[in-house]
């Protein structure tokens, strides 16, 4: 499974699932969005396995992405969960910080996990390079490719003008002969980066329609809670705003989580119009995509507005009304279809580092049989 297939599914509700295996990580990268440490907590292999066993060929996510912390601190769990998922037809991917690759080797237990999944993604950025040399990471990724697993790099920089991004993406293209795709992102002020990273340019959307595809894939958080999106405050803070909490892996299976994700009128509206639009409707009593002066940007941006919806009953009611019934379901499906048709690079122009978005579709070295 190639990176473009993975990213291309991101706007599809229930098209994928993000599963956090642990908050532990042996590295201490200064930009870590999850503030992972060597002593972080594990989510619990038992409940995660039970949850994956609830996938069926008729009702399953298309792909499950194992993340952390460092998921490959639990290579046997990655192997077992990937095999269990595949039984139902779900493909899998793992994102690693490459702690094992200082000398370019891939230990046998980790290689077993790498060959159990359908896609392997290696983190690479200036912070990781202080912990694991680039040459070791490149050698290890060559081994992954030689083992027959599709691979990509997940690269982070400070922004479009960061010279590191220009240098490292050119180095990857040279080393892998333009055949390994890249997802290039910008550092965000969350986790350990909260103290120093600049926020991205504020989105002054004035209530305009800006669909949020991040509410399409459930996320299993460190404590087993299943939330509706990957916003780090939603994943980390408790309690989770009620419209963004889908359940818990110890209590719910995929069919229940999937149904709540699809049927929630608020989530449909967030996926269809974004969270600011219902505030504008509540203020004006009608849809608007007019001037920001008529519908000023909400303090804290769209995600803060989204998390605060339960505290604003009029906006929550407007969101609920807009997303209910067959029309709400139809708009949700059509929004997902249009975004999926626009392709993975279009998604990354909005959510990643725009000038590098096309690198998601570099020609692969390996085509998965499935």
Applying CB under 6 A, the residues found at the interface with ligand SF4 are 212, 214-215, 228-229, 231, 234, 270, 275, 302-303, 306-307
Q: Which is nearer to ligand SF4, 247 or 302 (CB)?
A: 302
Minimum Å gap between C-beta 309 and ligand SF4 is 8
Query: What is the Cα–Cα distance from 283 to 264, expressed in whole angstroms?
Result: 22
Of the pair 273, 361, the CB lying nearest ligand SF4 is at 273
Measured from the CB atom, is 162 or 332 closer to ligand SF4?
A: 332
316 vs 275: CA distance, rounded Å: 9
Minimal distance in Å, beta carbon 336 to ligand SF4? 14
Cβ-contact 300, 203 below 8 angstroms: no
Closest CA to 255 of 48, 58, 16, 91: 58
Nearer to ligand SF4, 64 or 215 (CB): 215
By beta-carbon proximity to ligand SF4, the closer residue of 84 and 186 is 186
| CB 322, min distance to ligand SF4, A | 15
Rounded least distance, CB 272 to ligand SF4, Å = 12
Length of the chain in terms of residues written: 370
CB of 73 to ligand SF4, least distance (A): 27
Question: Residue 243: how many CB atoms within 10 A of its CB?
Answer: 22
Query: Nearer to ligand SF4 by C-beta: 126 or 306?
Result: 306
Half-sphere exposure (Cβ direction) of 37: Cα atoms closer than 13 Å: 6
Closest approach of ligand SF4 to the CB of residue 275, in Å: 5
Contacts of residues 189-198 at CB distance under 8 Å and 24 or more positions apart, as own/partner, are 190/33, 190/232, 190/233, 191/31, 191/32, 191/33, 191/34, 191/35, 191/232, 192/29, 192/30, 192/31, 192/32, 192/33, 192/35, 193/30, 193/31, 193/32, 193/33, 196/30, 197/31, 197/158, 198/158, 198/159
């Amino acid at each position: 499974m190639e990176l473009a297939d993975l990213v291309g599914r991101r706007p599809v509700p229930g098209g994928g699932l993000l599963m956090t295996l642990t908050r532990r990580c042996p590295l201490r990268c200064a930009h870590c969005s999850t503030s992972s440490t060597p002593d972080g907590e594990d989510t619990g292999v038992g409940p995660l396995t039970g949850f994956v066993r609830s996938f069926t060929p008729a009702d399953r996510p298309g792909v499950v992405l194992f993340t952390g912390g460092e998921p490959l601190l639990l290579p046997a769990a990655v192997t077992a969960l990937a095999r269990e998922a595949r039984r139902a037809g779900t493909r899998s991917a793992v994102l690693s910080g490459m702690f094992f690759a200082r000398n370019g080797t891939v230990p046998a237990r980790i290689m077993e996990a790498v060959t159990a999944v359908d896609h392997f993604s290696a983190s690479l950025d200036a912070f990781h390079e202080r912990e694991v040399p680039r040459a070791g990471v490149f050698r290890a990724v060559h081994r992954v490719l030689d083992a027959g697993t599709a691979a990509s790099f997940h690269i982070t920089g400070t922004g479009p003008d960061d010279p590191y991004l220009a240098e490292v993406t050119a180095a990857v293209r040279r080393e892998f002969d333009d055949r390994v795709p890249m997802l290039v992102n910008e550092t965000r002020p969350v986790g350990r980066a909260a103290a120093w990273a600049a926020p991205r340019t504020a989105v002054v959307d004035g209530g305009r329609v800006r669909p949020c595809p991040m509410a399409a894939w459930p996320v299993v958080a460190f404590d087993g809670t299943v939330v509706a999106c990957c916003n780090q405050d939603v994943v980390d803070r408790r309690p989770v705003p009620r419209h963004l909490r889908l359940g818990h892996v110890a209590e719910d299976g995929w069919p229940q989580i999937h149904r709540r994700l699809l049927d929630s009128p608020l989530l449909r509206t967030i996926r269809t119009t974004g969270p600011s639009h219902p505030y504008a409707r509540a203020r004006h009593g009608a849809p608007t995509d007019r001037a920001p002066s008529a519908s000023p940007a909400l303090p804290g941006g769209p995600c803060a507005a989204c998390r605060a919806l339960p505290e604003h009953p009029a906006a929550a009611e407007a969101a609920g009304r807009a997303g209910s019934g067959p029309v709400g379901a139809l708009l949700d499906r059509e929004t997902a279809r249009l975004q999926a048709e626009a392709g993975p690079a279009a998604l990354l122009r909005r959510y990643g580092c725009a000038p590098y978005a096309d690198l998601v579709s570099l020609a692969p070295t390996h085509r998965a049989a499935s």
